Chain A
Amino acid sequence: MGINATLFGQMITFLVFILFTMKFVWPPIKQAMSERQKRIADGLASAERSQHELELAKERAAEHIREAKAQAGEIIERANRQGASIVDEAREEARTVAEREKAAAEARIEQEVSQARAELRREVSQLAITGASRILEREVDPKAHQQMLDELAEQV
């Protein structure tokens, strides 16, 4: 027991140890730790950033989908409209064509009727002449009685 020269030995040792720790131990460990801290902080920050970006991208994608849906709806509607109008047009055209055909047919019928009538008239007048000539037993000059015959035919 008691204080002696060991004290100085210990003091010197202590100083040497402190200096060694200060030079070779503390700085590298501390540096590695702060470096790691920085990296972790960076990693977290970048993770957060990518999270944010992911959310943005999701939003953008949803927007795109919404737009595409709207566009598709519009296209379908337009197609429907167009289809309907095509059908309408077709129907209209068909009706016109039918009417035209009908009109033409009616005209033709009319014409045939009038033709038949004229034929009939002619035949009637012929018949009348023939009948008359039979009755009169002689030839009737159709020319002389043409006017009368025509008037007769007109009445038929």
Chain B
Amino acid sequence: MASSATEYVTHHLEHLTVGDGFWTLHIDTLIVSWVLGLIFLGLFYGVARKASVESPGGLQNIIESCVEFIDQQVSDSFNGPKDFVAPLALTIFVWVLFWNLMDLIPVDLFPEIMKLFGVEYVRILPSADMNATFGLSLTVLVLIIIYSIKGKGAKGFGKEMFCHPFGSHPALWPANLLLNIVEMIAKPVSLGMRLFGNLYAAEIIFILIALLPIWAQWVPGVAWAIFHILVIPLQAFIFMVLTIVYLSLAYESH
């Protein structure tokens, strides 16, 4: 039983891959996140294309309240041009929310279905793949650098990197630079790790629950799933808000 349990867990943590070494691609993560992203874009684009001013329908109301909510968050924390940041926040929030929702699909459903097609491994939860979460957070890092330069100018950005927080004496430059680089790297790492860690742990718990005898599964399963209804939007929200805050810090001189 012990070995088969180990086997079961490790089997469920194996990605569907193509390629070798660093050039491995997690096909499952990519395809699931693309499909979810396309659902997101399709849903929102469909509403946006025929957005009605007079009589918004049910779907339009949901999407508008979502947009309103994001817009409010962005307006609260970001004092710059919102043309890019607001759509960025919307994309992060909805996309990550959809990723996280995959956690609520029974852990054996897709692996069993895919087994029928001869596919041995499949993980449908992109947030439990570091490549996905770091894909977002490293993009955010790039945006932080872009917004730092945009907001403060290349000179201002350089000055901040070299002259903060200890002082502008040239002897302190290496220390300043080192600290700033650590700080800069800490941001995307913490962003990516937080989302990954939460959802990976959740997935493991669901896998462990799935190891219980079938009559005992529903109690912890229901409890964990209900708890997860809180975690899923919360993690998406945290990722989005921190992204806005980081960009706002980068954009403003302080």
Contacts and interface: CB of A to CB of B under 8 A. Distances in A.
Whether A associates with B in a native complex is yes
Interface of A: 1-11, 13-15, 17-18, 20-22, 24-33, 35-36, 39
Interface in B140-192: none
B231 interface: no
A4 B49 contact: no
B13 interface: yes
Interface of B: 13, 15, 19, 21-26, 29-30, 33-34, 37, 40-41, 44-45, 47-49, 51-54, 56, 63-64, 67-68, 71, 83-84, 86-88, 90-91, 95, 129-132, 134-136, 138-139
A127 B88 CA distance: 154
B237 to A, nearest CB: 17
A7 B53 contact: no
21 contacts: A4-B22, A4-B25, A6-B131, A9-B30, A9-B131, A9-B135, A10-B30, A10-B131, A10-B134, A10-B136, A17-B40, A17-B41, A24-B45, A25-B44, A25-B87, A26-B67, A28-B48, A29-B51, A30-B71, A32-B64, A36-B54
Pairs A-B, 4 closest by C-beta atoms: A10-B135, A6-B131, A32-B51, A22-B87
B25 A5 contact: yes
A46 to B, nearest CB: 16
Contacts of A25: 41, 44-45, 48, 87, 90
B134 A21 contact: no
Contacts of A9: 25, 30, 131, 135
B87 A11 contact: no
A39 B54 CA distance: 9
Given A21-B87, A39-B53, A33 B135 contact: no
Interface centre among A17, A21, A28, A30 (most CB of B within 10 A): A21
A18 B30 CA distance: 16
A129 B14 CA distance: 182
A61 to B, nearest CB: 35
A2 B44 contact: no
Q: Give chain A's interface secondary structure class.
A: helix
Given A22-B83, A25-B90, 20 more contacts: A4-B21, A4-B24, A5-B23, A6-B26, A6-B131, A6-B135, A7-B135, A8-B135, A9-B25, A10-B33, A10-B131, A13-B33, A14-B91, A18-B88, A20-B45, A21-B41, A21-B90, A24-B49, A32-B53, A33-B64
Contact of B86 (A3, A20, A26, A31): A26
Contacts of A8: 135
Contacts of B56: 32, 36
Contacts of A13: 30, 33-34, 37, 135
Contacts of B134: 3, 7, 10
Given A6-B129, A20-B41, A32-B51, A26 B138 contact: no
Nearest to A26: B87
Given A1-B13, A1-B130, A11 B25 contact: no
Nearest to B48: A28
Interface centre among B64, B84, B91 (most CB of A within 10 A): B91
